[in-house]
Homo-oligomer: A and B are copies of this chain.
Amino acid sequence: MRYSKQRETVYQTLKSMCSHPDASQIYQLVREKIPNVSLGTVYRNLGELCQAGLVHRVSVENSAERFDARTDQHAHFVCHGCGCVSDVSLEDITVQHGLDGVSHCKVVLYGTCDQCRNKK
């Protein structure tokens, strides 16, 4: 993967935020630095950054795919009211304080299923 101003700007923009924006929100912000950037470029670079492990996808109900440049293990909190998504450290989940408003939680594990493992 070679350098490009567009990818660098997408990455730095995302890194500077903690709101887990979706592609079109990132696009709006990148346009301020590179006015003629295209939405397709933003999507492509987000995908490549994900593949490189520099960015993670944040899949949340009733929302376009969101992105996160923080790659250490952490959970997300989604507000029923405004839909905002914020970070929660895994330690906080096991402790009781600071999570008063939580109504339910979802856990998704990613890996390779038995069938796919046996194919190789």
Q: Which residues of A does B touch, CB under 8 Å?
A: 57-62, 65, 73, 75-82, 84, 86, 88, 90, 93, 99, 101-117, 119
Residues of B contacting A116 with CB < 8 Å?
A: 79-82
* Alpha-carbon gap, A93 to B90, bound state (A): 15
Residues of B contacting A81 with CB < 8 Å?
A: 112-113, 115-117, 119
In the complex, the answer to whether A109 meets B88 with C-beta atoms within 8 Å is yes
Copies of this polypeptide in the complex: 2
Task: From B65, B88, B103, B108, give the contact of A105 (CB < 8 A).
Answer: B108
* Alpha-carbon gap, A58 to B61, bound state (A): 7
8 example contacts (A-B, Cβ-Cβ < 8 A) are as follows A58-B106, A61-B110, A79-B115, A81-B115, A82-B113, A102-B111, A105-B109, A107-B108
* Alpha-carbon gap, A57 to B108, bound state (A): 12
Residues of B contacting A79 with CB < 8 Å?
A: 111-113, 115-116
In the complex, the answer to whether B110 meets A80 with C-beta atoms within 8 Å is yes
